[in-house]
Copies of this chain bind each other. A is one copy, B any other.
Amino acid sequence: MADDPLPESGTPPRWRRRKEARPQEIVAAALDVFTERGFAATRLEEIAARAGISKGTLYLYFPNKEELFKAVVRSAIVPNLEMAEHLLHDFPGPSMEILAQLLEGIGGRIMATKVGGIPKLMIAEAGNFPDLARFYLDEVINRGFRVIGAVIERGVARGEFRPVNVAHTVRLVIAPVLMIAVWRSSFEPVEGKPLDVRGLLAEHLDHLRRALQPEGPGGDEA
């Protein structure tokens, strides 16, 4: 984003070789612009400007707009998914706890970074770029669904949750997160007042706990 602050004496060179650093910088700039403007309305020239390079240089690192976009999605989302998958395998405690950590982790990321803008982007562009949608469906959505689904199945198997329709419940778990991401991307800037993300997620988890609670004939709670 910013120029390197080398206080070099003499003539500042017009540019500098940064072969290693460029891709990340470009992807970071691209995430910014894509989430602000949407895919179609984003001009590669603006991405280049924010990355401190020229448009032609973009094409040294990415073959076209679509591949750049894919790189953005990969770098923004995939690591998160990997973390979620690890959490699922390594965490020994109650399943509800995994769900809570997952959702709170995502909530934190949505508030702290710009990844929350990606869903908006995909929603908007899926129709016009089917192979992009396919990519997102395979690499992000279905993988995310699988993780949540596994947690729910784990909970049911361990008797922590009542038996539910897993496929549907997965979507019900995710829906509020999606709403948060979408709201922050699209309407919060217009409305002005910030969404209470933490509070909303806490309420969601509270509702989920009650909705998933096994129906005890007598007393519940171990």
Contact = CB atoms under 8 A, between A and B. Distances in A.
Interface of A: 36-38, 40-41, 120, 122-128, 130, 133-134, 137, 141, 164-165, 167-169, 171-172, 174-176, 178-179, 182, 185-187, 189-191, 196, 199-200, 203-204, 206-208, 210-213
B190 A133 contact: yes
B137 A203 contact: no
A58 to B, nearest CB: 21
A38 B36 contact: no
A77 B185 CA distance: 22
Q: How many copies does the complex hold?
A: 2
A123 B120 contact: yes
Contacts of A123: 120, 123-124, 182, 185-186
B210 A196 contact: no
Contact of A127 (B169, B189, B211, B213): B189
A46 to B, nearest CB: 13
| Residue of A130, A172, A200 with most chain B CB atoms under a 10 A cut-off | A172
A190 B126 contact: yes
A190 B134 contact: yes
Contacts of A122: 186
A155 B36 CA distance: 39
A172 B207 contact: yes
A128 B37 contact: yes
Nearest to A213: B210
B172 A203 contact: yes
A127 B38 contact: yes
Nearest to A162: B210
A203 B120 contact: no
